[in-house]
Amino acid sequence: MIRILDIAFKDLLQLMRDFKTFMFLLLMPILFTFLFGYAFGGFGGNSDSRLPVGYLSQDNHWVTDSLHDLFSESDLISLRENVFLSPADLEQQVANGDLAAAIIVPHGYGRDVLKNRTDLRLIVIADTSSTAWTSVEAELLRITSRLDGAVRTATIIERIDSERMPFHYAFEKTLDAWNDPPIAVTETKSPAVAKVSDSGAALAHTAPGMILQFAIAGLLTAAQIIVTERKTRTLQRLLTTSTRRIDVALGHFLAIFLLLFTQFAILIVFGQVILKVDYFRVPEATVLVAVSAALCISALGLLIGFAAQSEEQAITFSLIPMFVFSGLGGAWVPLEVTGATFHAIGHVSPVAWGMDGFENIVARGLGFESVLLPSAALLGYALLFFSLAVWRLYASEEK
Q: How many domains does the chain have?
A: 2
Phi, psi of 101 (to 5 degrees): -170, 175
246 and 351 part of one domain: yes
Q: Which of 330, 369, 337 lies closest to 353 in space, CA to CA?
A: 330
**Domain termination site, one of 137, 166, 194:** 194
324 and 346 part of one domain: yes
- pTM of the complete model: 0.65
23 touches 201 (CB < 8 A):
no
63 and 35 part of one domain: no
**Domain termination site, one of 158, 179, 194:** 194
**Which residue type does 282 have?**
V
Instruction: Give CA separation, 271 vs 198, 199, 223, 358, in Å.
Output: 17, 14, 28, 12
**Domain termination site, one of 137, 164, 194:** 194
**Domain for residue 175, yes or no?**
yes
**Domain for residue 181, yes or no?**
yes
256 touches 215 (CB < 8 A):
no
The CATH number of residue 86's host domain is 3.40.1710
185 and 205 part of one domain: no
**Domain for residue 133, yes or no?**
yes
**Domain for residue 130, yes or no?**
yes
30 and 57 part of one domain: no
219 and 313 part of one domain: yes
Which segments of 232-347 does DSSP mark as H helices, in order? 234-239, 245-273, 283-307, 311-328, 340-346
pLDDT value, residue 191:
43
Distance, in Å, from the CA atom of 37 to the CA atom of 28, rounded to the nearest integer, reads: 14
Largest CA distance in the chain: 98
Instruction: Give CA separation, 363 vs 46, 148, 325, 392, in Å.
Output: 16, 34, 21, 39
134 and 210 part of one domain: no
pLDDT value, residue 184:
53
How many residues does the structure list for the chain?
399
| 3-class SS of residue 100 | coil
305 and 379 part of one domain: yes
75 and 25 part of one domain: no
pLDDT value, residue 21:
67
Distance, in Å, from the CA atom of 165 to the CA atom of 172, rounded to the nearest integer, reads: 11
136 and 6 part of one domain: no
Phi, psi of 102 (to 5 degrees): -140, 140
**Domain for residue 46, yes or no?**
no
Structural domain including 68 reads 51-194
Q: How many CA atoms lie within 13 A of 369 on its CB side?
A: 0
| 3-class SS of residue 122 | coil
261 and 135 part of one domain: no
103 and 213 part of one domain: no
For the beta carbon of residue 89, count every other beta carbon within 10 angstroms. 20
135 touches 76 (CB < 8 A):
yes
Instruction: Give CA separation, 32 vs 37, 239, 273, in Å.
Output: 8, 42, 17
**Domain for residue 328, yes or no?**
yes
Distance, in Å, from the CA atom of 16 to the CA atom of 58, rounded to the nearest integer, reads: 52
DSSP notation for 29-89 = HHHHHHHHHHHTTTTS-----SEEEEEEE----HHHHHHHHHHHT-SSEEEE--TT--HHH
Q: Which residues of the chain have pLDDT under 70?
A: 18-22, 25, 37-49, 117-119, 178-201, 397-399
Rounded-to-10 torsion of CA 153, 159, 163, 165: -10
**Domain for residue 366, yes or no?**
yes
Instruction: Give CA separation, 22 vs 3, 43, 251, 274, in Å.
Output: 25, 27, 20, 20
**Domain for residue 231, yes or no?**
yes
